[in-house]
Structure 1
Amino acid sequence: MESAIDKHLKCPRTLSRRVHDDYKPPFPMFVGRADENVKQVVMAYLGVQFRDEQRAAALQAMRYIDASFALSDGPGNHDLTYHLDNQGYENFIAVGYWRDPAAYHRWLLSAPVADWWGDEARLSEGLGYFREVIAPRADQFETLYAFKEDLPGVGAVMDGISGEVEEHGYWGSARDRFAISQTDWMQPTGELQVISGDPAKGGKVVIRGHDNLTLIRSGQDWVEAGEEERALYFTEMLPPLQDGMNFLRDEGQALGCYSNRFVRNVDLDGNLLDIAYDIGHWRSLDKLERWAESHPTHLRIFTTFFRVIGGLSKLRLYHEVSVADGSQQLFEYINCHPQTGMMRDAQVSPT
């Protein structure tokens, strides 16, 4: 049994774990491992927002973003997703991961990327666009997988997988998997702030984040699952999961959830794949933990997972949770409705 915190990220603890040293988890789970030279990663969520009649143009825009990922210094892993938000807008999101922030910045500043994003045509072609990017250090994110091959998300740009880890299966285990949790409570400082534009008026809006804003990606992959496991997912697991994700999307603001999107992976033609995940932005890890530990919508998800985990062999479940310094976040929106992403909760500075 290993610690989820890799050896090179260990340091003398000043904050205790949530369980005693003799704790043994009830089933095996694993975490991604990165070499010591990985100091920081970049997670970029690049969205296209549209109405149904604009689907062809939105697909073209998504394909352009996808093609840009193949440029020099593009991400080491990416996927494409779709969701319908609670304002009736459809959204494609291209999600890219870099293990080298310098490569990400070179990609971001390359002419095909910078010129396209900055083109005035983005403001007039009838689509919405957004970029939500965070760049956590190696001690500022954690992962958890119920499998060991073909890791999704940030796991794909890491270097390997652990053996069975100790820190899972109890409330607070996600915090305990963060290397920074050994010495830091990861408390938020500041508020979301509109620094240019006006969400109510559309156009281009830039939001400044704050320290320890928290991002969770929690996924399910039933591509290889047989009939029994698919039935287990769709009849047992998905209903409480969908209820919880819809609750956070519609009512999560009071709990500290800035944005919640339950998305399905798609191909370049927009066809749905048998993979889904949640994208949740929170004010803090503490706020996320409080919902997870006490709210009925998550308790139903958690108890269902514990009930069915023993019957899973091909259904792939995982998550990744990150915090980031405010200076390592980017939130930009072009012609998106004002409930999109961080715009809903961002404070507008007095004139």
Structure 2
Amino acid sequence: MESAISEHLKCPRTLTRRVPDTYAPPFPMWVGRSDEKLHQVVMGYFGVQFRGDEQRSDALAAMRHIVASLDLADGALHHDLTHHLDNQGYENLIVAGYWTDPVSQQRWNNSRAVADWWESADRLSDGLGFFREIVAPRAEQFETLYAFQDNLPGVGAVMDGISGDINEHGYWGSMRERFPISQTDWMQPSGELRVIAGDPTAGGRVVVRGHDNIALIRSGQDWADAEADERSLYLDEILPTLEAGMDFLRDNGQAVGCYSNRFVRNIDIDGNFLDLSYNIGHWASLDNLERWSESHPTHLRIFTTFFRVAENLEKLRLYHEVSVFDADAQQYEYINCHPHTGMLRDAIH
């Protein structure tokens, strides 16, 4: 059995694990693997916000423009598309893109075609909201976990491959212990989430500065190939408890240290729903995420349901990726978005 931490990222451990060296997990799980050449990844969430059917076609056109821009030089190596309705009644289309080189991503971000579109006065007057939330964890600052071994989604799609069975799963605290940096660092937050340009209540352009060790979780479900029994398991048992937990974080997250929570459904380029979904959750710290996951009834129900069925999953694909970031490896920008969008709600201004 392998460690979730790649050999080249191991170092003498100064922080102890929660389980003994003899621990054996109750079922197999896997993590994404990359070689020494991967030093940092970039995860970019590019959003279009709208309200009402009369804006839908313009919003879809804007989403397609963002997707097309990813084909330019230095564009994302992998992307997916999602939709969600937030608790303010706005629909949001998000393009999630992944890079394996922050320098390449910065060149793309600063290219005339991309920058001119984002900076255009048309973004202020076309009646839509736009946002980009871009984070860049180093290789030691993110972890993955998959209940399957092929066609990895999210950051796994830009990694080299998959591990063998790993040891660090199936117990509280295992998420943290899959982070290579957890060997020597508690990943404690420092600083504040602060508006540094604009006014969220006034609309227009707003920039938010992050702080060290904000945590981001993407937790996904894929039932596209599931047959009747597994589809029923997901739709009738897992999904209701999952939605309850996601709705709690969306509506009450501020009280538990969750800056933003979006439970999104994957779509195609025309906006048609696919049988995939995932959660995008930004947290003030990994501690806050752990505390909620270990103690809140909605997540405990999700966790116990997964434990009950995990060993027998065949076509239902469940996974997550979690990352933390340095303050200067984050970019949060919003144009004409409502003041509860993403990091706007909790940012000090």
User: Is TM (by shorter chain) over 0.5?
Assistant: yes
Q: Equivalents in 1 of 2:212, 2:127: separation in Å?
A: 34
Q: Equivalents in 1 of 2:75, 2:311: separation in Å?
A: 39
Query: 1:196-207, aligned counterparts within 5 Å?
Result: 196-207=197-208
The alpha-carbon deviation at position 311 of structure 1 amounts to: 2.9
Q: Equivalents in 1 of 2:19, 2:123: separation in Å?
A: 51
Q: Equivalents in 1 of 2:308, 2:275: separation in Å?
A: 22
Q: Equivalents in 2 of 1:8, 1:75: separation in Å?
A: 26
Which residue in 1 is equivalent to 2:325?
324
The residue type equivalent to 1:49 in the other structure is Q
Pairwise CA RMSD: 0.6
Which residue in 2 is equivalent to 1:16?
16
1:63-89 CA distance string (max 9 Å, x none): 000001111111111000000000000
Q: Equivalents in 2 of 1:209, 1:60: separation in Å?
A: 30
Q: Equivalents in 1 of 2:65, 2:8: separation in Å?
A: 39
Moved over 2 A (4+): none
Q: Equivalents in 1 of 2:160, 2:45: separation in Å?
A: 22
1:104-156 CA distance string (max 9 Å, x none): 01111111111100101000110000000100000000000011101000001
Q: Equivalents in 2 of 1:116, 1:231: separation in Å?
A: 44
Q: Equivalents in 2 of 1:312, 1:246: separation in Å?
A: 26
The residue type equivalent to 2:78 in the other structure is N
1:26 aligns with 2:20: no
Q: Equivalents in 1 of 2:292, 2:164: separation in Å?
A: 29
Q: Equivalents in 1 of 2:283, 2:247: separation in Å?
A: 15
Q: Equivalents in 2 of 1:242, 1:80: separation in Å?
A: 20
Conserved 8 A contact 2:24-2:167: yes
1:31-81 CA distance string (max 9 Å, x none): 000110110000000000001220000000000000011111111110000
Which residue in 2 is equivalent to 1:137?
138
Query: 1:155-170, aligned counterparts within 5 Å?
Result: 155-170=156-171
The residue type equivalent to 1:283 in the other structure is A
Which residue in 2 is equivalent to 1:267?
268
The alpha-carbon deviation at position 269 of structure 1 amounts to: 0.7
3-state DSSP of counterpart to 2:97: strand
The alpha-carbon deviation at position 221 of structure 1 amounts to: 0.4
1:177-230 CA distance string (max 9 Å, x none): 000000000000011000000001110000000000000000000111111110
Which residue in 2 is equivalent to 1:237?
238
1:225-259 CA distance string (max 9 Å, x none): 11111001001100000000000000011000000
3-state DSSP of counterpart to 1:308: helix
1:327-348 CA distance string (max 9 Å, x none): 0000000000000000000001
Q: Equivalents in 1 of 2:322, 2:299: separation in Å?
A: 16
The residue type equivalent to 1:20 in the other structure is P
Which residue in 2 is equivalent to 1:181?
182
Which residue in 1 is equivalent to 2:254?
253
Q: Equivalents in 2 of 1:126, 1:16: separation in Å?
A: 53
Q: Equivalents in 1 of 2:17, 2:65: separation in Å?
A: 45
Which residue in 1 is equivalent to 2:316?
315
Which residue in 2 is equivalent to 1:82?
83
Which residue in 2 is equivalent to 1:48?
48
TM-score (norm 2): 0.99
Unaligned runs of 5+ in 1: none
Q: Equivalents in 1 of 2:271, 2:18: separation in Å?
A: 43
Q: Equivalents in 1 of 2:70, 2:24: separation in Å?
A: 42
Q: Equivalents in 1 of 2:152, 2:118: separation in Å?
A: 30
Query: 1:198-217, aligned counterparts within 5 Å?
Result: 198-217=199-218
Conserved 8 A contact 2:28-2:311: no
The residue type equivalent to 2:183 in the other structure is Q
Q: Equivalents in 2 of 1:97, 1:169: separation in Å?
A: 28
The alpha-carbon deviation at position 309 of structure 1 amounts to: 1.6
3-state DSSP of counterpart to 2:25: coil
The alpha-carbon deviation at position 297 of structure 1 amounts to: 1.0
Q: Equivalents in 2 of 1:173, 1:192: separation in Å?
A: 27
3-state DSSP of counterpart to 2:188: coil
Q: Equivalents in 2 of 1:172, 1:297: separation in Å?
A: 18
3-state DSSP of counterpart to 1:46: strand
The residue type equivalent to 1:326 in the other structure is A
Q: Equivalents in 1 of 2:6, 2:313: separation in Å?
A: 27
The residue type equivalent to 2:326 in the other structure is D
Q: Equivalents in 2 of 1:203, 1:308: separation in Å?
A: 47
Q: Equivalents in 1 of 2:211, 2:159: separation in Å?
A: 26
Which residue in 2 is equivalent to 1:299?
300
Q: Which moved more, 1:62-71 or 1:309-318?
A: 309-318
The alpha-carbon deviation at position 307 of structure 1 amounts to: 1.4
Q: % of aligned pairs identical?
A: 70
